Amino acid sequence: MREYLLTLCVTAAVTYLLTGPVRKFAIVAGAMPEIRARDVHREPTPRLGGIAMFFGLCAGLLVADHLTNLSQVFETSNEPRALLSGAALIWLMGVLDDKFELGALIKLGGQMIAAGVMILQGLTILWLPIPGVGTVSVTPWQGNLLTVALVVITINAVNFVDGLDGLAAGMVCIAAAAFFLYTYRIWYGYGAEAAAPATLFSAVLMGMCLGFLPHNMHPARIFMGDSGSMLIGLVLAASAVSVTGQLDVEALNVNLGGTRETTHAMLPVFIPLLMPLTIIAIPAADLALAIVRRTWRGQSPFAADRGHLHHRLLEIGHSHSRAVLIMYFWSALIAFGALAYSVNSTSMWIVLGVVFLSVIGLLLLLLPRFTPRAPRWMERFLPPRYRRRGSVAALSPDASTPASAADQAASVRSEDRTPAVSGVSGVNGATAIGARSRLGDRSKAGTR
C-alpha cells in the first residue's frame, strides 16, 4: 500500500506543479476559445490542462517502475506500456482538438485507433466472467470489438460530463478510488496477480485528478479540455479492461471456496461489461440520454447542447458548486455501493443504507423547488432570498432607514427607464437638457 500511496502522491504533485506553467503556455498559444452558447463560464478560460495530467501519468508510471513490488507489474505484464502508448496517442489528438477544434468523426477515429494500439500490445478482453456460468472464452475478434466499444464509450462518457468546473476530474477520481479498493482487494486479498495492473492504473488516475482539481475547482483557472477528459477516460477504461478481461474467475475458486462465492466477489466486474462501468454510471447515463435526445431532434449524436444532467441542475435553481457536489454524491453512492455489495452481498444493511442515501440525494436534488419561507417576524434576521416580496419595505421602521441593496438596484433600474432625450437617457438626459438651456440663455443674452 505504501508504494501505491507514493505513486499517487508523485503523480498528484507533478500534475499540480505543471498545471500553472501549462496555463501560461495555453494563454500564449491562444488555446482560449470564445464563449459558446452551451458554456457555463463567463470568461474565456485556457484549456490544455491535459498536458499536465499526461506528464503526471508518465511520472507515476516511471516511479512505479523503480519500486520494489510495483516493478514486478512491468516485468510480468505489457499492459503498462500498452496504456502509455494509447494514452500518448489520445492525448496528442486532444491537444490538437483543444487548439484547432477537430471534427467529431476525426476524434472518434482517433479513439478507436488508440484502443487498437492497446489491443496490439495485449491490453484486451480475453474472456468474460458470466455470473452463474463462470469464465466464457471469446474469440480474438469478439474480444477486440468489446475492448474498442468499452474504451470509446468510457472516453465519451467522461468527455460529455466535463461541463462544470471540477466535475469530470472529481467524478473520475471517485470512480478510480472505488475501483482501486476493489482491485486491491482482489489482488492482495485473493492472490490474483492479474489485478495488479488495474490497481496501479487506478492509483495513477487518482493522482492525476487530485493534482488537477485545485486548479479546476470553481471558479476554474484552467480547463482540462479534450486532452484531459479523453485521457482520464482512456485510463479508466484500461483499468476496467485489465481486471475484467484478463482475470480468470476459475483461478479464484480455490481461494473463494466455489463458483457461488466467486460470482458474488466478481459482481462489480460483471456490470461494467453491461453498462459499461457501473463506477461511472452517471456519465454513462448522461451519454446515453444525450445520444437519444440529439438523435430524436435529428441532430448528430456528437452535436453539443445544454441538455446534460449538470445543465439541468443549474436550470432548476442549483448553484454551480451545489450542482457539482450533487453529481459527486450520486457517483460516490453508486461506486461505493457496488464496492460494499461486492464485499458482503448478503447484508441487508448495505441495501438499506443505499436506499436511505438515495432518498437524501433526491431531497437534495429537489431542494430549489422547496425553498423555505420564514415567518415575517424572523425575516429581518435572514438573507433576502428567504423573505417574501414586499417585506423589505415593511422592515424599515421609518423613512430615514437606508434603503437595501435591492431597493437601490430597483431605483437604478427605474432611472435607466427614464425617457431618452436625443439618444441620451436618465441622468445624462437631464444633464443634456440643462446644458442646452444654458446655451440658449447665453445666445439670447448675446442677441440683446
Predicted pLDDT at 87: 95
**Of 35-44, 165-174, 254-263, the least confident:** 254-263
Span between the terminal Cα atoms of the chain, in Å:
100
Residues 296-323: what's their mean pLDDT?
67
Considering only residues 27 and 369, tell me which one the structure prediction assigns the higher pLDDT: 27
Identify whether 319 is part of a domain: yes
The residue-averaged pLDDT of 233-255 equals 73
Q: CA 383, CA 63: separation in Å to the nearest integer? A: 52
408 part of a folded domain: no
402 pLDDT band (50/70/90 cuts)?
very low
pLDDT tens per residue across span 36-90: 555 555 577 888 999 999 999 999 999 999 998 899 899 888 999 999 999 999 9
pLDDT at residue 92 is higher than 90: yes
CA distance 263 to 270: 9
β-strand partners of 137: 127
Q: What is the pLDDT of residue 65?
A: 92
**Contact assessment for residue 4 and residue 68, using Cβ atoms and an 8 Å cutoff:** no
Contact between 227 and 31 under an 8 Å Cβ cutoff? The reply is no
Confidence of residue 309 (pLDDT cuts 50, 70, 90): low
Considering only residues 362 and 141, tell me which one the structure prediction assigns the higher pLDDT. 141
What pLDDT score does 376 carry?
67
DSSP E strands, 54-167: 127-130, 134-137
Q: 443 falls in which pLDDT band (50, 70, 90)?
A: very low
Confidence of residue 114 (pLDDT cuts 50, 70, 90): very high
Tens of pLDDT, residues 179-219: 888 888 877 777 778 788 989 999 999 999 999 999 988 78
Residue 198 DSSP SS3: helix
Q: Residue 74: what pLDDT?
A: 92
Q: Is 165 annotated to bind ligand? A: no
Quick one: pLDDT at residue 22? 95
User: How many whole angstroms separate alpha carbon 115 and alpha carbon 112?
Assistant: 5
Which residue, 82, 57, 63, 79, is CA-closest to 227? 57
Residue 425: pLDDT band with limits 50, 70, 90? very low
- Asked if residue 429 belongs to a domain, the reply is no
In a domain, 395, yes or no: no
- In the chain, the number of structural domains is 1
CB 275 within 8 A of CB 148: no
Q: Is 82 left (phi over 0), alpha (psi -120 to 50) or beta?
A: alpha
pLDDT for position 430: 40
Average pLDDT (110-129) is 89
All residues at 6 or more sequence positions from 376 whose CB lies less than 8 Å from its CB, including other chains: 388, 391, 394
Measured over all CA atoms, what is the biggest interatomic distance in the chain, rounded to whole angstroms? 118
What confidence tens digit (pLDDT) does each residue in 324-345 have?
Answer: 888 888 888 888 887 777 777 6
pLDDT, residue 40, reads 54
Look at 320 and 405; give whichever has higher pLDDT: 320
Inter-residue contact 109 to 249 (CB < 8 Å): no
- Note whether residue 317 is domain-resident: yes
Q: Span 387-410, mean pLDDT? A: 46
Tell me the whole-structure pTM to 2 decimals: 0.72
Cβ neighbours for 438, distance < 8 A, ≥ 6 positions apart = none
Q: Report the C-alpha gap between 26 and 21 in whole angstroms.
A: 9
Distance CA 316, CA 366 (A): 8
Residue 163 has pLDDT above 80, yes or no: no
- Residue 104 to residues 101, 107, 191, 237, 290, Cα–Cα distance (Å): 9, 5, 43, 20, 15
Half-sphere exposure for 375 (CA within 13 Å, toward CB)? 2
Task: State the chain's mean pLDDT as an integer.
Answer: 75
**Domain with 263 in it:** 2-368
- Residue 94 is predicted with a pLDDT of 94
pLDDT at position 356, please?
87
Of 351, 310, 418, 379, the residue nearest 41 (C-alpha): 310
CA distance 417 to 439: 27
Give the pLDDT confidence score for residue 220 in this predicted structure. Answer: 83
Domain presence at residue 116 = yes
For residue 248, the model assigns a pLDDT of 61
On the question of pLDDT at 361 being above 50, the answer is yes
Does residue 72 belong to any structural domain of this protein? yes
Task: Tell me what pLDDT residue 77 has.
Answer: 87
pLDDT at position 284? 66
226 is in an annotated binding site: yes
270 exposure class (CB count in 10 Å sphere: 0-12, 13-18, 19+): middle
**Are 198 and 243 within 8 A, CB to CB?**
yes
Q: Say what the pLDDT of residue 401 is.
A: 42
- Whether 356 is in a domain gets the answer yes
The DSSP bridge partners found for residue 134 are 130
Determine the residue type at 26. Answer: A
Calpha distance 235→211 (Å, rounded): 16
How far is 266 from 275, CA to CA, in rounded Å? 15
